[in-house]
Amino acid sequence: MWYIIIGVIILLLIIGASGSSATKEVNEKLLAAGYDPEQQIILSKYLGGHPDINDAKPNTSLFYHSGSVHIMEYMPLKMPIKLAEIPGANVKNVVVEDQSSVERRVTLGRMLLVGIFAFAWKKKKKNEQAYLIFEWSDGRFEHETIFEFEGRDAMMKANTARNGVIKWLR
């Protein structure tokens, strides 16, 4: 019995040490690329709205670098992959909305699909959700880049992310 307990403890120490060294390695790579690991805002899901990203991403994070908000694909213990960026000077607003206010919006896709009936078509109900929305312009087109948070503390997480982004952009 004691052999099993000691074996499990040793295994946990080895896993913890390897995770710590992997985190350190990723942080060093981020610093070398010009990103501050302490300033990373880990988000939930990217839903859409950026012209350079065609599909939803389940795990994303944000970094502020060279005057722009960089959208990264977040992978624990691995170097994030840059997906796109939003020029900080072009951001008009960063808002947090709850599930009910986003549900009231009629999306262009639903409008094209079913026409006037889009107003009556309800989206599926889910657990608590909050959305972080970047309203910005690329000089020619207006964009709303949307990130989704789910869970009991979704609004708190979305608001914390918003506050971090606003600090960057001030």
Instruction: Tell me the per-residue pLDDT of 28-59, one tens digit each, with 9 for 90 and over.
Output: 998 899 999 888 998 889 999 999 999 999 99
Place of tokens 């889910």: 126
Q: Do residues 21 and 58 share a domain?
A: no
Q: Which among 44, 50, 95 is positioned nearest to 68, based on CA atoms?
A: 50
Q: Do residues 135 and 158 share a domain?
A: yes
* pTM for the whole structure: 0.74
Look at the chain and report how many structural domains it folds into.
2
**Buried/exposed code over 43-68 (b: 16+ C-beta within 10 A; e: otherwise):** bbbbbbbbeebeeebeebbbbbbeeb
Q: What is the pLDDT of residues 113-124, one digit of tens each?
A: 555 555 555 555
Q: Do residues 49 and 7 share a domain?
A: no
- CA–CA separation, 151 and 157 (whole Å): 10
Q: Do residues 13 and 83 share a domain?
A: no
Q: Do residues 27 and 49 share a domain?
A: no
Instruction: Show the domain range for 59.
Output: 35-169
